[in-house]
Amino acid sequence: MQLLNVLEWAHVVRRDVGGARRDVAGGAGDGPGAGLGGEGAAGLTVVVLPPREAMTRGQLRRMAELARDEGIAVRWEEARGGAGAPLRTVASLLGPLRRAERIVVGDPFSRYVQLLLSLARAEGEEGAEALPGNVVVVDDGTATMEFVTQLARGERLVRWHRRGAGGARAALFAPVSAAARRRMTPSAGRRVEVFSAMPVEAPEHVTVVRNDFSWTRSRFGPPALADGTDLVGTSLVETGVVDSERYLEAVVSLARAHGATRYFAHRRESPDKLHRIAAAAGLEIVRPDLPLELVARRGPVGRTILSFPSTVVHTLPLALAGTGATVAVCDVDPAWLTEGASPRAQGFLSGVTGTARGVRRLPSAPSSQSLKPGTSTT
């Protein structure tokens, strides 16, 4: 998803600004690591720091191919490839990071990204220009909403579903995290840009640029619409937020109420869970090899797409604008949450649902009357 949004950002920069400069993009885990300038279109190089998980790696390889098709240079860095891999990766990226005029961050919560960002130059350092917008944070889905909120409050960067202070490892990493946070903190002399499709309010000195998925819409589709309903999966069970049995019951209920035939699995969903969903709900399990926004835009896709609170309730209406497809979101009942879920979980998920535009909102206990046919995205 992060790599898709880097492509969307590059598309907007080319369209609205043009010209070349040395750019650096940063993410990690399931997205791009850092885009380091000097080669490729508009001086942009994307560095991918892939995780070990096979499905995510497959999606990243496909997205890397699309990036190269757009003239963007891509470096694939196996930063998790053994004991010495992190040090080798950091050493190989240090020079480009220090030379880059702009850093584009894909996952500001990632420790890899925070480490790389802490090594990049800052305004006021010898030889460093004071460049407005020299740090850009591209969408990482719902995490972007939490990032902007924590940035505005000056809080430590913590993913919304995590509990506690993070233990000894977090304490050891705290100085690096603090240095990275300062690089992403706006001030009178340092501007930060957020490129997002999410409903975020810009703190002072932060510029928010709207991601309307114009690259996706210009590159793919419009899709053929299939009769029937598609259901979008979520990793809320895998992250320990939602109880697995309650989730299974909700999926079965939604599938029966709305005639769903396909289930688009989240890349982190476990095979055992997906097997149970297929058996209990009679759904065809689809494991996309590209982000869902691209899969839906290429089609065919159901006329109705149902989802739990997640990034796609904000992004799919944009990617599918004008196609006649309906996007609907089912609330998460507080009773579904696990005992170990973060105290912030319910409020955050409600906010994801409540701020979504161009979607139909369903109750957490769906009925066959919850969604009327013929409602389209706007």
Residue 27: predicted pLDDT: 47
CB of 141 closer than 8 Å to CB of 198 = yes
If DSSP states are collapsed to H, E and C, what string results for the chain?
Answer: CHHHHHHHHHHHHHHHCCCCCCEEEECCCCCEEECCCCCCHHHEEEEECCCCCHHHHHHHHHHHHHHHHCCCEEEECCCCCCCCHHHHHHHHHHHHHHHCCEEEECCCCCHHHHHHHHHCCCCCCCCCCCCCCCEEEECECHHHHHHHHHHHHCCCCCCCCCCCCCHHHHHHHHHHHHHHHHHCCCECCECEEEEECCCCCCCCCEEEEECCCHHHHHHCCCCCEEEEEEEECCCCCCCCCECHHHHHHHHHHHHHHHCEEEEECCCCCCHHHHHHHHHHHCCEEECCCCCHHHHHHHCCEEEEEEECCCCHHHHHHHHCCCCCCEEEEECCCHHHECCCCCCCHHHHHHHHHHCCCCCEEECCCCCCCCCCCCCCCC
Residue 232: predicted pLDDT: 97
Residue 377: predicted pLDDT: 43
Residue 29: predicted pLDDT: 47
Residue 378: predicted pLDDT: 41
Q: How many other C-beta atoms can be found within 10 angstroms of the C-beta atom of residue 306?
A: 27
Question: Distances in Å between the alpha carbon of 374 and those of 23, 52, 140, 227?
Answer: 44, 42, 31, 12
pLDDT by 10s per residue, the chain, length 378: 789 999 999 999 888 765 445 555 554 444 454 444 444 545 788 888 888 888 889 999 999 999 999 999 998 988 877 778 888 888 888 888 887 778 888 888 888 888 888 877 654 454 444 343 478 888 767 778 888 888 877 777 777 555 555 567 767 777 777 777 778 877 666 678 889 998 888 777 788 899 999 999 999 989 999 988 999 999 999 999 999 999 999 999 999 999 999 999 999 999 999 999 999 999 999 999 999 999 999 999 999 999 999 999 999 999 999 999 999 999 999 999 999 988 888 888 898 888 888 899 988 754 333 444 444 444
- Cα Rg of the chain, angstroms: 20
The count of C-alpha atoms lying within 13 angstroms of the C-alpha of 311, restricted to the half-sphere facing its C-beta, is 20
